[in-house]
Structure 1
Amino acid sequence: MKSLASSSALIGLLATLGAASAPASAVVIESFDGGSWGAGWSNNAAGAVNAGAAHDGAFGVTLDGGVWTYNTDFQFGEGSKLSAWVKPTAGSNGRVYLGFGADANGAQSFVGATNTGDIRFQDNPGYGFIELNTSSFQWTVDSWYLMEVDWLSGGLAIGNLYAADGSTLLASVRQDNLPRTCGGVALRGFNGWDLDTVSVNPLGCGGTPVPEPGSLALIALGLVGVGFRFGQRRTS
């Protein structure tokens, strides 16, 4: 009975650890639903907030000026995911930029491009550009897509493009050796792009990597086995 109680206690502990290590809910850092840019953005001239650009809620933004804006009020780093809904509008022949690790000196960005038919990464020191890896993709005008940067450790990021359901993966691009590890968010667009609902999961820098569910299961089995043998020794 003691061995069973020990095993139950260990299973309960692992369940608690698993719940504690579950991903935090995404934080919407800009919804535009107040009818204007929120606080902290460096240059609201980057695009016009309007109802026609809304994916959800009342408003979105049309990024058409080719001007960068950044916001360092929201700090996040490796181990986070950054996402936004984007839509190429009629006649779109430009690009939309989802920048991360941003500050006054630049950013690095996941880019959607109707002018070259792809998704790509850029490094943007001084808010210029250095082209990095690309992956071909045929955009559909007036369709919503979810752009997501999965910012992993060691300078690695994966750019994922999802369909309008937010879960069907359409294209991906990988980039190694990115120089920035933490910072704010940056946005830019030109020639026909709407954007809405910028989210981060989780906020903050320097997070501790969370074990994969499979790893947690193996740990649980190992600890339960140890507990069972310990109980046998005490009752023998």
Structure 2
Amino acid sequence: MNLRISSLAMAAALMGAASAQATVVEPFTGGALSAPGWSAGIGADASIYLSTPAPDGTYGIALSEAAWSYNTSISFAANDTLTAWINPGPGPATPGFDNAQGGRLFVGIAADATGASSFVAASDVAALGSMANPGYTSGAFTSSASQVWGDQWYELSITRSADGQSATARLFDQDGQTLLNTLTIGGLNASANGIALMGTGGVAISTVAVVPEPASAGLALVGLMLAGATTRRRLSR
């Protein structure tokens, strides 16, 4: 009886542990790229330009120099989910901002020294797009969805497929709950797990986090539960 209760308690505890937790991989401490491993220093303290922080109270960095920086020390692998607060600013399609130029924030995934693929928050053309960036060049969107950007923060969530060859981006309103858009990109380099950033027009990004694929924790839970069941059967004989 006590063994059964202990096994159930262990299973409940491990079930909680198996729930994957988000890890902040780039906090932009001091308004700069602060995680180790970036290929170049880009961006400026966004609090200088923005009056309103992201919903988590941070400002992150503002990007305007159209220069890429990649980081292979940050891992965003198959089945992982990456999240970030983004603020591409208003564009000419934004109501009340007819004279706004807009900008583009490139969030690169499957990145290494040879290039990346990216999701692009493009307020200059009122779109959420995706593209390949071989050699860290920028071309036409491979896919896009219409998106009018307001003068506010949004949550971008990107989930990589099980084989690592595709990824789906989900754009949420500033409440982090209201889904605004979805876009998928394919043809990713499955062996490249870094991330990259680039921006034009003073776009902002803050608090990049990764939720790892929880399979290993789940397997450990199953193994311990099976071991407990085997022990109970032996004791009941």
For residue 8 of structure 2, give the secondary structure of its aligned residue in structure 1: helix
Amino acid in structure 1 at the alignment position of 2:39: S
Distance 2:188 2:24 in 1: 24
- Provide the identity percentage: 31
Question: What is the aligned partner in structure 2 of residue 187 from structure 1?
Answer: 197
Q: How many Å apart are 1:120 and its aligned residue?
A: 2.3
TM value normalised by structure 2: 0.75
Task: Compare CA radii of gyration and give the structure with the larger one.
Answer: 1
Amino acid at match of 2:196: A
Is it true that 1:101 corresponds to 2:110 in the alignment?
Answer: yes
1:209 to 203, 207, 215: 215
Q: How far off its partner does 1:92 sit?
A: 4.1
Q: Which residue of 2 aligns with 1:117?
A: 126
CA–CA separation in structure 2 for the residues paired with 1:191 and 1:89: 8
Task: Describe how 1:1-236 pairs up with structure 2 within 5 A.
Answer: 8-31=5-28, 33-38=29-34, 39-44=36-41, 46-51=42-47, 52-53=49-50, 54-55=53-54, 56-57=56-57, 59-90=59-90, 91-129=100-138, 131-140=141-150, 142-154=151-163, 155-202=165-212, 209=215, 234=237
Tell me the alpha carbon deviations over residues 102-134 of structure 1, each in whole angstroms, 9 at most, x when there is no partner: 222111212111233221222212112463332
Moved more, 103-112 or 171-180: 171-180
Following superposition, the deviation at residue 22 of structure 1 comes to 0.9
Distance change (3 Å), C-alpha of 1:125 and 1:138: same
CA contact (8 A) 2:58 2:207 kept: no
Output the CA distance in 2 between the equivalents of 1:188 and 1:73.
Answer: 17
User: Where do 5+ consecutive residues of structure 2 fail to align?
Assistant: 91-99
Deviates more, 1:121-130 or 1:95-104: 121-130
More strand by share: 1
Pair 57,28 (structure 1): closer, same or farther in 2 beyond 3 Å? farther
> Aligned-pair distance for 1:37?
2.9
For structure 1, the 5+ residue unaligned runs are: none
Distance between the aligned counterparts of 1:80 and 1:37, measured in 2? 22
**What is the Cα-based RMSD across aligned positions, in Å?**
3.3
CA–CA distance in structure 1, aligned partners of residues 142 and 121 of structure 2: 13
